[in-house]
Amino acid sequence: MGSYLLEKVRIGVANLRHLLQNAKDARKVLPIAFFLMMAFLVAMAWDGISSTRELLESQAEVEHAHQVLHEVEGIEDGLQDARESWLHYVLTPERQDRDNFNDAVARVWQQVAKAKELTRKDPGLSDKISKLEGWIKEEIKQLSSNLQTRETLRIYHSEAADFRRDRVRRAILEFKSEEEKLLHGRNEATQKHAGEIRSSVTFRIIGFSVLMAALFLLVMRDSRKLRVAEQTALLAQTRLEGSLQQLQTESEGSRLLNDLQSDLQICASPSEAYEVVAGHLEKLMPDCSGDVFAIENIRNLMAVIASWGAPGLTQAVWTPEDCCAVRAGGLHARMESPRGLTCRHFCAGVPPAYICLPMSALGETLGILHISAPSSAAFTSGRLALVQKIGEYAALRLANLKLRDRLHDQSIRDPLTGLYNRRYLEATLEQELHRSTRRHTGLGVIMADIDKFKSCNDTFGHDAGDYVLKEISSLLRRSVRAGDIVCRYGGEEFLVLLPDSSPESAREKAEQMCCSVAELSLEHTGRSLGRITISLGIAFTRDGALRSEDLLHHADQALYDAKRQGCNRVSVSDSLASLLAPASHPPEPAIGSRIKLAKG
Q: Quick one: pLDDT at residue 498?
A: 95
Q: Give pLDDT, residue 29.
A: 57
Q: Which region holds residue 346: left if phi is over 0, alpha if psi is between -120 and 50, else beta?
A: beta
Identify residue 241 by its one-letter amino acid code: E
On whether the CB atoms of residues 478 and 562 are closer than 8 A, the answer is: no
pLDDT score for 422 = 92
CA distances from 174 to 72, 73, 127, 162, 167 (A): 11, 12, 13, 18, 10
pLDDT of residue 147: 54
Q: What is the pLDDT of residue 494?
A: 96
Check residue 111 and give its pLDDT.
Answer: 73
Q: Assess contact for 540 and 503: CB atoms under 8 A.
A: yes
Domain 274-410 of CATH type 3.40.718.10: no
DSSP state of 314: B
Domain 41-217 has CATH 3.50.50.60: no
Rounded Cα–Cα distance for residues 15 and 234 (Å): 10
- Output 461-464 pairs: Cβ under 8 A, ≥24 positions apart: 463/524, 463/525, 464/524, 464/525, 464/527, 464/529
User: Which residue type does 214 have?
Assistant: A
User: How remote is the C-alpha of 116 from its chain's centroid?
Assistant: 69
pLDDT for the residue 311: 78
CA dihedral (343, 346, 348, 351) positive or negative = negative
CB 428 within 8 A of CB 485: yes
Provide CB contacts within 8 A for 341, sequence distance 6+: 324, 332
Cα 17 from Cα 562, distance rounded (Å)? 105
CA-CA distance, 228 to 23, in Å (whole number)?
12
CATH 1.20.120.160 applies to domain 413-597: no
Please give the pLDDT value at position 550: 92
Give the C-alpha separation, 230 to 237, whole Å. 10
For residues 551 and 432, what is the distance between their CA atoms, to the nearest angstrom?
A: 12
pLDDT of residue 198: 73
pLDDT at 100: 76
Q: What is the mean pLDDT of each run of 10 residues along the chain (600 residues)?
A: 47 53 54 68 68 64 67 70 68 72 76 72 68 70 60 56 66 68 68 71 74 70 67 71 69 83 87 89 89 81 88 85 90 80 85 90 87 88 88 88 84 91 92 92 94 90 93 94 93 94 93 94 90 94 87 94 90 78 42 42
